[in-house]
Amino acid sequence: MKTPLRMIITLAVVGLFAGGSLAFIYQWAQPQIAAYQKKTLTQAIFNVLPGTKNYRLLKKNHLKVYRCEDASGNLLGYALVGEGGGYQDKIRVMVGVKPDLETLGGIEILYTKETPGLGGKIATQDVLQPSGKTFTQQFRGLKISPPIEYVKNKKPKDPNQIQAITGATISSRSVVKIVNKVIASLRTALEEKAGN
């Protein structure tokens, strides 16, 4: 009878110690994680709209839009985060749109767990497509009206097309869908603002 009681007490003490330790580490790490996420977000905004010196957060119908400006306060465009399903897990993308709402400034992959060597190439900066650009570089200056399309096994012919990564069509298609969805949401939000 004493042995089971002793085991229960020992397990309870170990459980309380482990739980307390995890809670302490979480509380200690949370501010550092938040600071890192903010730094990563800011860097992504600057990358998708080069020349950005300042940005302001505008909230439009549950949509966080970053209004990006140069050093003189001139509008360079809008940046916002989009998310959707990929082949393995969700993909999170920062999208920069020029003020004309017809041209992309660029995109940056914020989060992905796609297959290394295949879908993972969507975020790699050292793997070039046959066009001589990385996957994300293809989006810089891309026309977004009509919506972006991807082509497989051939070079893009139209100004709104990018080339899908060979062997990673699902990941490429997912990024294109996310970017098109973000652009549509941005246009709707800005039209509603203009209507008010």
DSSP string over 75-119: EEEEEEEEEEE-SSSEEEEEEEE-TTSSBEEEEEEEE--PPTTTG
Tally of domains in the chain: 1
Query: Is 90 exceeded by the pLDDT of residue 196?
Result: no
Place of tokens 């994300």: 136
Average pLDDT value for residue range 165-181: 86
Alpha-helix residue ranges (DSSP H) falling in the chain: 2-48, 169-195
Query: Is 90 exceeded by the pLDDT of residue 2?
Result: no
What average pLDDT does the chain have? 84
Please check whether residue 169 lies inside any domain of the structure. Answer: yes
- Tell me the residue range of the domain where 117 lies: 46-195
Please check whether residue 1 lies inside any domain of the structure. Answer: no
Residue 170: predicted pLDDT: 81
Average pLDDT value for residue range 10-24: 86
Instruction: Decide: 160 and 111 in contact? Cβ < 8 Å.
Output: no
Residue 1: predicted pLDDT: 53
Residue 85: predicted pLDDT: 79
User: CB 18: neighbour CB atoms within 10 A?
Assistant: 10
Residue 38: predicted pLDDT: 86
Please check whether residue 37 lies inside any domain of the structure. Answer: no
Please check whether residue 41 lies inside any domain of the structure. Answer: no
Nearest to 164 by CA among 185, 150, 145: 150
Instruction: Decide: 46 and 39 in contact? Cβ < 8 Å.
Output: no
